[in-house]
Amino acid sequence: MGFGQFLSSPEIKLKVVTFRDVFQNTAQESSRFGEDYCKLSAVIKLDPKDIVKLSIKEGETVIVKNKSGKVVVKAEGSESEESHTGIAYMVNSPWSNALVPDETGGSGVPSFKDFEVSVQGAKGERITSLRDIF
Amino acid sequence: MTEYYVCPGCALLCDDIEVEIEDGKVTKVNSACRKGVARMKGCSDPMECTVDDEKTDVDAAITKAADILREAKDPLIFGHGNSSSQAQQLSIDIAKRTGAYLDDTSSFCQGPIIEAILQDKLKTCTLDDIRHKADVIVFWGADPSNSHPRHLSRYSYFPRGNERQRGWEEDRTAIAIDIRKSDTAEICGQSNFYRIPMAADAEFMEALVSALSGKVPKTSFDFDKKKILQLANVLKKAKFGVICVGLGLVYSLDELEPLFILMDKLNEVSSFHLLPMVGQYNMRGFNQNLFDKTGYINRVKFDGEDNSVKHGADFSVIESLRNRSVDAALIIGSDPLSSLPLSVARYLAEIPLITIDPCRNLTATKSTVTIPCALSGVEAGGTAMRMDGVEVELKKVIDTDNLTDEEILRRIKEAI
Amino acid sequence: MANVMEIYQLLPKTNCKECGKSTCMAFAVDLLARKVKVDDCIPLVNEEKYKDNYEKLSEIIAPVGDVTETGLIVHDDKCIGCGNCVVACPVNVANDPQGAGSGKAPTSDKVIFKVEDGVVKARNVEECRRFGENKILCVACIDTCPTKAIEFV
């Protein structure tokens, strides 16, 4: 599958906030290399309006990238009843950390919970595996 | 009498855990949350003892680890969140002897809050105080339902306590301040949930201070003034208030000044305490142990020659790796390759690396030396410090062939 | 939580009676009460055109091991073992004030809720306030659950 087919899909800029999820954390305790951990980590949760803007369907894969890195993850609608257009949620994991900028402005603390990315639909593209990240 | 054990799943260190054992394995864990059960039952990927990706015995691995640390000019010793206090003390000793950078996960986590608490700049209290006394509990940028599942049931909201005998509906008010409606916010209820924009925590604090001072609380994001005044009113009436500070708040504040001002104001009008929602089971222990020895809680560099110690952001795990100022690393009780920004973690994979952990993790896959250790709280005892600074003795449940983290570091220290 | 109409809409609506009920609506009512299983609707299982509906319905009517007599269901897959219900349940508080009621591991056999292996288990349900002659619509365990893992059917 070539990259060209995605050229037509719209790309939007979003801010990402990371969060903790007890189910993903439990999977991590069992095995960081397990399927469950990947399945529960390689996900971005989007506002329904942003899903429309991307012209994708829930459950399709998207490319999420910025200057720090690039990952292919599954797009899900967020359960949140409040609108959060322009903001996407990712669970704290190596997948989100691939996108966290390393600049700290001298503080020694990266912006784990507030960074910009661009997102583009990539239906059928394989989800980035833990091995691919490194 | 039921024998109770301590769960090392997070810094709540729940001490009412019942276990069942069969054939030397933990087969059932009662009272612990989902995550704690997974921790106590052990991982499916145990760490192997290796040098250069070849399986070896622990003696050879320890010798090689000592060689790496001895030969390095500026080694880094990092991790410690999931290490016993005994192991942490030895980490400090090894760092002194080798002139190493020494840091822990608090460096990009709850560090600033714990530092302020240890320096008496913020009023704090214990989890037991919260259970017995707290009537107004604020979860700020914190979602314990996911990070510390038993926080609300054991201490902060639902249990009966000495001065809280009538149950949560009458006796306690739980409030969530967050940028999204978390599971915890859901439990607090719509009227006690304050949804604020990203990075607006400092401004919201300012508005809250205004409201507490009887002024009109203005925000650039037009937050409903009535709602802020209503919140101020609840906080004012608190007999024993507590703010549980989550990473959402820590990361959003460039400096702690707004929090200091809010806490001062709250303690003028009522009584408020602050609790850091520490994640890993003994992160706070490391901060305390290093503070007792050096006056700093993290981010130090020892000088091998004259035993002096430097401290600051330049000696943080992130900056030291980003600036490539370290030339080898010992990682214990943490998995920085999965928890650091990738670009920083990548450098770690380029230098001689030693990982000590019960489970195979990402850092282990890039390590020159990997040494399996006993899982504290299950396969070994040890001391740890709860998020509120209370020391807890971990208990051994089952036997293992692996050495404890303490024993491994002791032998590395001797070999150096 | 699903309602009868939602369930009915996903059924074949042919009133074929193969399940033994006189109408699909009657089946929907029993399905909601977990008196029958999704698989008891034979056309839904066997006919290709109902495949989507079968899957949707199976998801809505999450499989439950056993529905207790009070209609209390714990969805194991959603439960995080936080123990909020254990501590908040008024019966647990009354029967075990120093243990469950104080936030600790239950010390009495008479508690309704207890967390085992990271998931809450219900027992002694005849003690539940929603049960018996003087029943009241207590919602302590439902309101305190962060993941909506408990429901009454």
pLDDT 10s digits, A5-63? 555 789 999 999 999 999 999 999 999 999 999 999 999 999 999 999 999 999 999 99
Interface contact flag, A134 B251, Cβ < 8 Å: no
**pLDDT one-digit tens code per residue, B274-306:** 999 999 999 999 999 999 999 999 999 999 777
Residues 6+ away with beta carbon under 8 Å from A92:
A18, A19, A20, A112
Q: Are residues B189 and B334 in the same domain?
A: no
Q: At what angle do helices A22-30 and B34-41 cross, to 10 degrees?
A: 10
| Measured distance CA(A72)–CA(A85) in Å, rounded | 20
Rg (CA), chain B: 22
Residue B136: inside a domain: yes
Interface contact flag, A89 B180, Cβ < 8 Å: yes
Say whether C72-152 and C4-60 share the same fold. no
Number of domain units in chain B: 2
| Measured distance CA(B400)–CA(B396) in Å, rounded | 10
The fold for domain A4-133 equals Barwin-like endoglucanases (2.40.40)
Q: Are residues B262 and B187 in the same domain?
A: yes
DSSP assignment string, B32-80: S-HHHHHHHH--SSB---EETTEE--HHHHHHHHHHHHHH-SSEEEEE-
| Measured distance CA(B238)–CA(B133) in Å, rounded | 10
The range of the structural domain enclosing residue B192 comes to 111-276
| Measured distance CA(B82)–CA(B98) in Å, rounded | 22
What is the residue-level pLDDT of chain B in tens, covering all 416 positions?
A: 789 999 999 999 999 999 999 999 999 999 999 999 999 999 999 999 999 999 999 999 999 999 999 999 999 999 999 999 999 999 999 999 999 999 999 999 999 999 999 999 999 999 999 999 999 999 999 999 999 999 999 999 999 999 999 989 999 999 999 999 999 999 999 999 999 999 999 999 999 999 999 999 999 999 999 999 999 999 999 999 999 999 999 999 999 999 999 999 999 999 999 999 999 999 999 999 999 999 999 999 999 777 799 999 999 999 999 999 999 999 999 999 999 999 899 999 999 999 999 999 999 999 999 999 999 999 999 999 999 999 999 999 999 999 999 999 999 999 99
Q: Note whether ipTM > 0.90 here.
A: yes
| Measured distance CA(B318)–CA(B347) in Å, rounded | 11
Q: Are residues B135 and B242 in the same domain?
A: yes
The answer on pLDDT for A120 being more than 50 is yes
pLDDT at C122: 92
pLDDT at A1: 46
Token digits of residue C150: 């408990």
The residue of chain B nearest to residue C119, with distances taken between CA atoms, is B34
| Measured distance CA(B4)–CA(B393) in Å, rounded | 12
| Measured distance CA(B389)–CA(B128) in Å, rounded | 11
Residue B39: inside a domain: no
Closest CA to B18 of B35, B42, B39, B37: B37
B253 — alpha (psi -120 to 50), left (phi > 0) or beta? beta
Q: Are residues B157 and B257 in the same domain?
A: yes
**pLDDT one-digit tens code per residue, C130-142:** 887 778 889 999 9
Interface contact flag, B152 C101, Cβ < 8 Å: no
Listed by start position, the domains of chain A span 4-133
Nearest-Cα distance to chain C for A115, in Å, is 28
B356: enclosing H helix or E strand:
strand B353-357
Rg (CA), chain C: 18
Q: Are B129 and C115 in contact (CB under 8 A)?
A: no
Looking at domain C4-60, its CATH superfamily turns out to be Electron transport complex subunit B, putative Fe-S cluster (1.10.15.40)
Residues of chain B with C-beta less than 8 angstroms from the C-beta of A94: 337-338, 342, 362
Q: Which residues pair with A118 in a beta bridge?
A: A13, A65
- CB atoms closer than 10 angstroms to residue A37: 22
Listed by start position, the domains of chain C span 4-60, 72-152
Interface contact flag, C102 B160, Cβ < 8 Å: yes
Interface contact flag, B45 A33, Cβ < 8 Å: yes
pLDDT at A134: 83
The answer on pLDDT for C65 being more than 60 is no
Q: Position of tokens 């303490």?
A: B406
The fold for domain C72-152 equals Alpha-Beta Plaits (3.30.70)
Nearest-Cα distance to chain A for C140, in Å, is 22
Instruction: Give the closest of A31, A69, A97 to B45, CB-based.
Output: A31
The answer on pLDDT for C60 being more than 80 is no
Residues of chain A with C-beta less than 8 angstroms from the C-beta of B359: 31-32
Q: Are residues B158 and B62 in the same domain?
A: no
Q: Which candidate in A22, A25, A39 is best for mutational testing of the C interface (most C CBs within 10 A)?
A: A22
Q: Are residues B118 and B222 in the same domain?
A: yes
Nearest-Cα distance to chain B for A110, in Å, is 7
pLDDT at C33: 77
